Amino acid sequence: MIRIGTAGWGVPRQYADGFPDSGSILERYATTLMAAEINSTFYRSHKPETYARWASAVPDGFRFAAKLPKAIT
């Protein structure tokens, strides 16, 4: 299966009407798209609690792709 997502999960203002009004930005994003790249991992790692919080904010089947750190790429 191919999943379509964006780099990050921000919702540009001009497209905000296509997403629900309530919920966090990630929750709103996940109602429309089922994948997102975590861009910030290129610059720094996150606490396990952060990854867990993100995972709990999206529906089953949603997939994250973590960008490799710049030290590797």
Domain count, the chain: 1
Q: Is the residue at 1 inside a domain?
A: no
- Report whether 32 contacts 59 (CB < 8 A): no
Residues 51-72, mean pLDDT to the nearest whole number: 96
**pLDDT of amino acid 12:** 86
Q: Is the residue at 35 inside a domain?
A: yes
Q: Is the residue at 71 inside a domain?
A: no
**pLDDT of amino acid 18:** 87
For the entire predicted model, the pTM comes to 0.84
Look up the domain containing 41 and give its range.
6-66
Q: Is the residue at 73 inside a domain?
A: no
| Cα separation, 28 vs 61, whole angstroms | 15
- Report whether 4 contacts 30 (CB < 8 A): no
Q: Is the residue at 32 inside a domain?
A: yes
Q: Is the residue at 72 inside a domain?
A: no
